[in-house]
Amino acid sequence: MNRRSPEQLATHSSRKVQQAAFALGVILIIACFYWTGGRLMVAWERKGGYYGHGWLVPIVTAALLWFRREQIATCPRKSMPWASVLVVLSLLLHLAGVATFRPVISGVAMIGFFAGVILTLFGRAMLSCTLLPILFLAFMVPLPDAIIKDISFNMKLAAAGIATGVVDFIGITVIRDGSYVLLAASRHIPEMQRLVVDDVCSGLKYLISLTAFGALYAFGISQLQRLWHKGALFLLSIPISFAANVFRVIVMILISYGWGAEMIGEEQHPVIHYGLGMVVFVFAFLTLFVIDGVMRRFFSSDDATETETVATGSPPENTAPAAATHHVAPGRCLLGFLLIAAGGIFACSSSSPAYLRSQRTVLSSASRERDIEEALPQKLPSPFRRTPPGSG
């Protein structure tokens, strides 16, 4: 019978202590932030909310940590006891969020707590390896309702204004009055249509979700080398998501003008209803992918030149440029597939049946003209304006 040496027994005992300490730490963290998790899940499940993708964030964070497991295992460890101040401050901030019933404060404190624990126990190198997964958790923390309503209102008006401007430029008579869109009668729809641009039409939901996916793509999948290149690619996801939402509003207005607002209803035509959400996501993601390719083409030669200069201490010799080949790791391919699948699920779930509500009514000719004339009489062409009696 083989007996273990004292060194093996000490190693085995040390592993048992580490495992027990790790399990105890996980239990304490769950107990500490149990309230935070419950409030976040309520926000994720809220009907008509903007954080339905919150369930995906922890899954993607776990996937990021799994793909970096080898780098984390070989990362040098050097504890920094002074960083425990960050842990204490984060816990105090968490208590303040619980006392004032502010989940956003507690959520931010939770992210700071994770960063402080890693920095205290393992040092800066380990924090650098896990920084992206930790910061990615911020996309599951909802903003305060007051900020969301203010941003959503302004984005809604901006999206409706740009969309109606494009439709009017095409040649279709359309009027925007606040969040209302008045469509003139068409050949197939003989009566005026009035569409209400709801809050979900603002594009804030797409902005939040697509910036999350943009951050994951820029810092986790893209082959760009410099940090500011990745940051620029991430920031470009903001105007891309807004442009994609404007495109969706334009398409829905055109469908309503040609075939009626019932064509975009969830019950009447679910394929069109949910398909538009998929189109928006695919359009935004492909645009981000194309911009990434353009940036790699322009900046790859500069990065290679700088790397060779630093390595040799002298400028590179004039040699024939070699064809650049980019090998994408299987982990990144799997992460990209997870990104696309998660975005597709969110795009379908975010398509609200009240995206553009129709308030179409069949009016008499005189009342229809009067209704339009009272809205914006100077905007309409002569066929839609009522001529005063006795004039020309």
Phi, psi of 225 (to 5 degrees): -95, -45
pLDDT at 111 over 90: yes
Contact 178, 195 (CB under 8 A): no
3-class state of residue 268 by DSSP: coil
Task: Provide the pLDDT confidence category of residue 141 given band limits of 50, 70 and 90.
Answer: very high
What would the mean pLDDT of 82-108 be, rounded to a whole number? 92
Is it the case that residue 255 has pLDDT exceeding 80?
yes
pLDDT at 321 exceeding the cut of 90? no
- Burial of residue 205, with CB atoms counted within 10 A of its CB: 0-12 exposed, 13-18 middle, 19 or more buried: buried
Mean pLDDT of the chain: 74
The pLDDT, as a whole number, for residue 383 is 35
Q: What is the mean pLDDT of residues 150-167?
A: 87
195 contacts: CB under 8 Å, gap ≥ 6? 180, 181, 182, 183, 253, 256, 261, 356, 357, 358, 359
In the prediction, which pLDDT does 328 show? 45
For 16-36, what is each residue's pLDDT tens digit? 766 777 778 788 888 889 999
Least confident window among 11-20, 202-211, 338-347, 350-359: 350-359
pLDDT tens, residue by residue, 65-87: 998 888 888 988 888 889 889 99
> Could you give the CA distance from residue 303 to residue 223 in angstroms, rounded to a whole number?
12
pLDDT at 7: 66
Nearest partner of 57 among 172, 152, 134, 155, judged by Cα: 134
Which of the four pLDDT bands, split at 50, 70 and 90, describes residue 8? Answer: low
User: Which range, of 53-62, 165-174, 189-198, 317-326, averages the lowest pLDDT?
Assistant: 317-326
pTM of the model: 0.70
Give the confidence band of 324 by pLDDT, cuts at 50, 70, 90. Answer: very low
Position 29 scores a pLDDT of 85
> Which of the pair, 164 or 191, is modelled with greater confidence?
164
* 91 pLDDT tier (thresholds 50, 70, 90): very high
pLDDT at site 201 = 64
Q: In this model, does residue 350 exceed pLDDT 50? A: no
**% of the chain exceeding 90 in pLDDT:** 13
